[in-house]
Amino acid sequence: MQENHSQIFVKIDEYRDVLDILNLTKEKVNEAKDILNTIIRLKNEEDTEIENWHNELEEIEKKVSFLDKTLFDIDNR
Amino acid sequence: MPEKKEESYFVGIIDPVKVRKSILESSRSVIQSLHRFERFKVLRQKKIEGIQNLNDVMKEIKSLVGRLKMELPKAPQQAKKKPSSWKDAKEEKRQQPDSRAARPSSADRSPKIKSELERLEEELGKVEKKLADLE
């Protein structure tokens, strides 16, 4: 089935304006992509920090538990 | 009368070196955690700045797209295809969402207080309607 799309004409000076805006838009889209990549990188770094934090806290817990056993669990010596 | 001395009791620590080492290691880990927290705060601050920056750029893009829309002439919209039969018309009507159900009640939304989110939702609805008209 043939689609009925009527053609449109744009004045040449307006067309140049349109091209300028389009180029600027493309630049901004690239800028947005760069910023988004930075945010993703920062988020990954944050996640890594949280993971390390978690591991470290578990280590501290183990050590405190050992101290608790050694110092206060007199009966089971 | 001679003063009665308080008796002291002692608890023996079997492996004092190990205990001391454990205390020091715990202390070191806590300090490292605090240090990590400072780094985390910096990262989070940078991320918040990035998100704000991205928001600004997205607003700029939106404004540029708006300008593009203004610069270009409006295309004549095609008339909606008429249903070929009463069955098609019935089917089309059935597929359309109930406009009464979609509209929020006045109690739900105050017209005066429109959040940014509601404004964007409205805008999105308009764009989607235009797209549907083009199809």
> What is the interface pTM, i.e. ipTM, of the complex?
0.73
Number of H helices, E strands in chain A: 1, 0
Task: Find chain A residues with C-beta within 8 A of B11's C-beta.
Answer: 71, 74
pLDDT digits (tens, 9 = 90+) for B57-82: 999 999 999 998 888 877 665 555 55
Is it the case that residue B88 has pLDDT exceeding 80? no
Mean pLDDT score, B9-25: 86
In a domain, B95, yes or no: no
Tell me the residues of chain B between 51 and 90 that have a Cβ less than 8 Å away from chain A: 51, 53-54, 57-58, 60-61, 64-65, 67-68, 71-73, 75-76, 78
What is the distance in angstroms between the CA of the first residue and the CA of the last residue of chain B? 110
Count of domains observed in chain B: 1
> Rounded to an integer, what distance in angstroms lies between the CA atom of residue B41 and that of residue A36?
19
Is it the case that residue B9 has pLDDT exceeding 50? yes
> Rounded to an integer, what distance in angstroms lies between the CA atom of residue B39 and that of residue B19?
30
**pLDDT tier at B102, thresholds 50, 70, 90:** very low
User: Would the CB atoms of A42 and B32 count as touching at under 8 Å?
Assistant: no
Look-up of token digits 């390390």? A52
Q: What was the pLDDT predicted at B100? A: 46
In a domain, B98, yes or no: no
Evaluate whether A28 touches B62 at the Cβ level (below 8 Å). Answer: no
User: Burial, B50: exposed, middle or buried (Cβ in 10 Å; 0-12, 13-18, 19+)?
Assistant: buried
In a domain, B96, yes or no: no
In a domain, B102, yes or no: no
Domain ranges of chain A: 11-71
Tell me the residues of chain A between 26 and 65 that have a Cβ less than 8 Å away from chain B: 28-29, 31-32, 35-36, 38-39, 42-43, 45-46, 49-50, 52-53, 56-57, 59-60, 63-64
Is it the case that residue B87 has pLDDT exceeding 80? no
In a domain, B61, yes or no: yes
User: Would the CB atoms of A49 and B36 count as touching at under 8 Å?
Assistant: yes
> Rounded to an integer, what distance in angstroms lies between the CA atom of residue A49 and that of residue B37?
8
In a domain, B31, yes or no: yes
In a domain, B68, yes or no: yes
pLDDT digits (tens, 9 = 90+) for A23-71: 999 999 999 999 999 999 999 999 999 999 999 999 999 999 988 888 8
Q: Which domain holds residue B33?
A: 12-72
